[in-house]
């Protein structure tokens, strides 16, 4: 299953799962959908699905889960920077809290750079002479690591922007389950369009009753559905930079 189809199916399953809860708990919601809210929902789908998740899976193909998890520590720092630029977070260098956030941001970026560029010493060395093919293979792996890490960083920037816009939107539309469902729907529609453009194989959409079916169901229900809903609730109580450090 290609990463484009995985994102599309994931958001589709997320839409179906959250729609059930919308009917159960928010069917009497009186909040009106304005043009501004629908615009934000469109960009939430764009930032979260098309750029965020798709680029994350692309970066994961070039690196490893360990690298992706390590670089994910950049998200709170990036979110903090975006929150300051959007004037959603006050930065007072004279306060210890601001100093701690600045120090944490520097450490996070330094660690991400070190993780990407520094290979470290070999754990086991057998003193085998390098073969030209082996040397070429290592160079390609190094290039893939750097390329994948850069893609992951762009993905995390997009997800951080998603959190900022999510904070703004939930204040405009105080119905978290409905907003989560609309976000998943937007991501599903945009992902289907993206898949139609980049992946022309009809066979890519085929689902089989095996372990491969678990990935889109899990990502849709848990990651795109429950996680986004919990994030939305947290953001209603606290601002985005706080939520992102929890």
Query: Would you say residue 15 lies in a domain?
Result: yes
**pLDDT score, position 43:** 97
Query: Would you say residue 38 lies in a domain?
Result: yes
126: exposed, middle or buried (C-beta count within 10 Å: 0-12, 13-18, 19+)? exposed
Query: Would you say residue 126 lies in a domain?
Result: no
Q: Range of 156's domain?
A: 3-115+133-245
Rounded distance between C-alpha atoms, residue 204 and residue 90, angstroms: 47
CB 201 within 8 A of CB 44: no
Place of tokens 């159960």: 24
Rounded distance between C-alpha atoms, residue 168 and residue 34, angstroms: 14
CB atoms within 10 A of CB 125: 7
**pLDDT score, position 90:** 81
Query: Would you say residue 123 lies in a domain?
Result: no
Query: Would you say residue 127 lies in a domain?
Result: no
28: CB partners within 8 A, 6+ apart: none
pLDDT tens for 108-136 read: 888 877 776 666 555 555 454 555 544 44
What's the CA dihedral at 54, 60, 66, 67 to 10 degrees? -90
Domains held by the chain: number: 1
Percent of the chain residues past pLDDT 70, beyond the cut: 84
Residue 89's closest CA among 203, 199, 239?
A: 239
CB 18 within 8 A of CB 184: yes
Residues of the chain with pLDDT under 50: 126, 128, 133-137, 139, 240-242, 245-246
Name the pTM for this structure: 0.81
Query: Would you say residue 128 lies in a domain?
Result: no
């Amino acid at each position: 299953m290609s990463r484009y189809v995985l994102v599309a199916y994931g958001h589709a399953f997320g839409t179906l799962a959250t729609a059930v809860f919308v009917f159960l708990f928010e069917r009497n919601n009186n909040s009106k959908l304005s043009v501004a809210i629908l615009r934000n929902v469109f960009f939430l789908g764009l930032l979260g699905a098309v750029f965020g998740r798709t680029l994350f899976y692309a970066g994961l193909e070039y690196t490893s889960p360990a690298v992706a998890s390590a670089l994910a520590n950049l998200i709170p720092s990036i979110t903090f920077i975006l929150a300051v630029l959007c004037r959603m977070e006050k930065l007072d260098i004279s306060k210890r809290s601001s100093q701690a956030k600045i120090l944490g941001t520097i450490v996070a970026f330094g660690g991400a750079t070190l993780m990407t560029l520094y290979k470290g010493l070999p754990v086991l060395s057998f003193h085998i002479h390098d073969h030209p093919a082996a040397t070429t293979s290592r160079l390609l792996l190094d290039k893939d690591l750097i390329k994948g890490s850069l893609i992951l960083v762009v993905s995390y920037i997009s997800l951080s922007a998603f959190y900022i816009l999510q904070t703004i939107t939930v204040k405009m539309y105080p119905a978290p389950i409905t907003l989560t469902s609309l976000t998943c729907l937007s991501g599903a529609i945009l992902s289907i369009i993206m898949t139609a453009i980049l992946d022309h194989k009809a066979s890519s959409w085929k689902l089989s009753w095996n372990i491969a079916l678990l990935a889109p169901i899990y990502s849709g229900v848990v990651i795109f559905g429950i996680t986004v809903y919990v994030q939305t609730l947290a953001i209603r109580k606290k601002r985005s930079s706080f939520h992102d450090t929890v």
